Amino acid sequence: MKDVAAQAPGKFSDPFVTAKGETRASVALRDPQTLWFNTGTLCNIECVNCYIDSSPTNDQLVYLTAEEVADYLDQIAARGWPVREIGFTGGEPFMNPQMIAMAEDALARGFAVLILTNAMRPMMRPAVQAGLSRLQEAYGDRLTLRISLDHWSPERHDEERGAGSFDKTLEGMIWLRDQGIAMDVAGRTLWGEAESEARDGFARLFTAHGFDIDAADPGRLILFPEMDASVDVPEITTDCWDILGKSPDDVMCASSRMVVRRKGSDHATVLACTLLAYDPEFELGRTLEEAERPVQLNHPHCAKFCVLGGASCSA
């Protein structure tokens, strides 16, 4: 949902020109490494600051099917994309009844699979547990679950996700540990604590429960900045790359795309990235071929989260 009302007048209004009349930066798809699938926006919980507004009632992005995922996996081969990883996000992916089948298809084709989950009740259903155990036995560490654990303390995590949610997620993580299923963790930085303090807190938690996760590794413990489109941020121009000492190749849309299907649509659509699921400006077409065109950085998230924040949904 694009909300740029609090930006200065004229900002983020023209895909090609900034409010100051400078050429807006764009990012080409140079090295597609990850193809994301949003399995649907329905979730078993409703978080305070969910960037995609997932909830038990939000079905703006409907469940993808295994057939649709298979079609895009075929397209990867047809286009010769060097994709190494298939990512599944939501909503809560394990609410999608075909989640295990979709993951199994990707794994069987040789991809690494990353599933973003809160590790709560949908993942803990017996049929899902059996499926995950089967996938781990067959494909080992090519399957990774990234657990949404906002903070290392129950109190702060539950502020975002509801009373008792920390303990339920911890229960799921303990089950995954015992099955030998690889885990990463995604936390948040909204409480203003230093990154070193956050990583130390998570390290203590991981050690206490025997989780094989290195809290010092930013690829294993990902600490995401908050995404508030109403906060005034600078626009990114073509000159910014040299000024900031950064390369467009390091931005998420240089190496990934996301597939969704909107409610009421009879087909899936490819988007520029995982963060802008509702903005039609970032729809690139129905096929991977159409999605190979460059992305104009015409949204506050492009600046704050990706370019200035240096964050990415991939490890």
105-129 tens-digit pLDDT: 999 999 999 999 999 999 999 999 9
Mean pLDDT of 31-50: 95
188-194 long-range CB contacts below 8 Å, 24 or more apart? 188/49, 188/150, 188/151, 188/160, 188/223, 188/224, 188/226, 189/223, 189/224, 189/225, 189/226, 190/49, 190/226, 191/151, 191/156
Please return the burial class of 28, using the count of CB atoms within 10 Å of its CB with bins 0-12, 13-18 and 19+: middle
Query: Which residues on neighbouring strands pair with residue 221, listed in sequence order?
Result: 185
Between residues 6 and 55, which one has the greater pLDDT? 55
Mean pLDDT of 161-190: 97
Q: What is the C-alpha separation between 212 and 145, in angstroms, rounded?
A: 13
Structure confidence at residue 232 (pLDDT)? 83
Full set of structural domains in the chain with CATH: 26-308 (3.20.20.70)
Burial 75-91, CB ≥16 within 10 A → b, else e:
bbeeeebebebbbbbbb
Measuring CA to CA, which residue among 46, 93, 41 is closest to residue 262?
41
When pLDDT is cut at 50, 70 and 90, the band that residue 228 belongs to is: low
CB-CB contact of 187 with 201 (8 Å): no
When pLDDT is cut at 50, 70 and 90, the band that residue 313 belongs to is: low
pLDDT digits (tens, 9 = 90+) for 55-91: 999 999 999 999 999 999 999 999 999 999 999 999 9
Mean pLDDT of 179-189: 96
Mean pLDDT of 270-274: 95
Above 70 in pLDDT, residue 310? no
pTM to 2 decimal places: 0.93
Rounded to the nearest integer, the mean pLDDT of the chain is 93
